[in-house]
Amino acid sequence: MTDLLKRLDRPIVLVGLMGAGKSTVGRRLAKRLGLPFIDSDSEIEDAVGLPWGELFERYGEADYRDGERRLVARLVDGQVRVIATGGGVFVDPQTRQLLKEQTITIWLDAPIEILAERTGRRDTRPLLKNGDRKDTLERIANIEREAYSEAALHVKSGDGAHRDVVETIVRELEQYLAGRTAA
């Protein structure tokens, strides 16, 4: 692990659809690596003083994404840490480019059925409040999948233990950093 940490020179950013496990896996990954953890949705809430879902509904997606873009730019200041992002962060072309240049991006990819079950546990996601949750997630996934495919690493997340996903990420990071060093 020490060798991996020595080679890390930038933040690790988890991207993916809502419900993929970015926050939960991110916290565990940060603990496993001994790094600080930041959740961009929580940072937005702390900065504005309102839940992110309420901000999204009150100001609309365009204004929310603009604020999110500015926040993410501040979070990727070069400090090595783990950052969990909101579901739409990596879809924005400007933010995606910034993250690809300044971080190691990891796409957490989970099946739609699992995303629908996870996101159904709480009614805090504005994009899922109207219509069939599974259909909405499938529609969003079809739109956003291409953007997520540009992440440096692609890790499947399912209904298994989060620790298994964390261990997969650690292995993928080791391979990725070894390849980057060799290049």
Predicted confidence (pLDDT) per residue in 21-64, tens digit = 899 999 999 999 999 999 988 888 788 787 767 777 788 878 87
List pLDDT tens digits, range 55-93: 777 888 788 778 888 889 999 987 999 999 987 889 889
Q: pLDDT tens for residues 113-159? A: 887 776 655 555 545 556 677 788 888 788 888 999 999 999 998 77
Q: How far apart are CA 106 and CA 108, in angstroms?
A: 6
- At residue 182 the predicted structure's pLDDT band, cuts being 50, 70 and 90, is low
Separation of alpha carbons 7 and 79, rounded Å: 13
**Which DSSP symbol is given to 88?**
T
CA-based nearest residue to 13, from 71, 64, 76: 76
Write down the pLDDT at residue 27: 97
The pLDDT score that the predictor gives to residue 3 is 83
Using the predicted structure, report yes or no on whether residue 2 has a pLDDT greater than 80: no
Q: What integer pLDDT is reported at residue 181 of this predicted model? A: 61
Q: How far apart are the first and last CA of the chain?
A: 21
Write phi, then psi, for 75 (nearest 5 degrees).
-70, -25
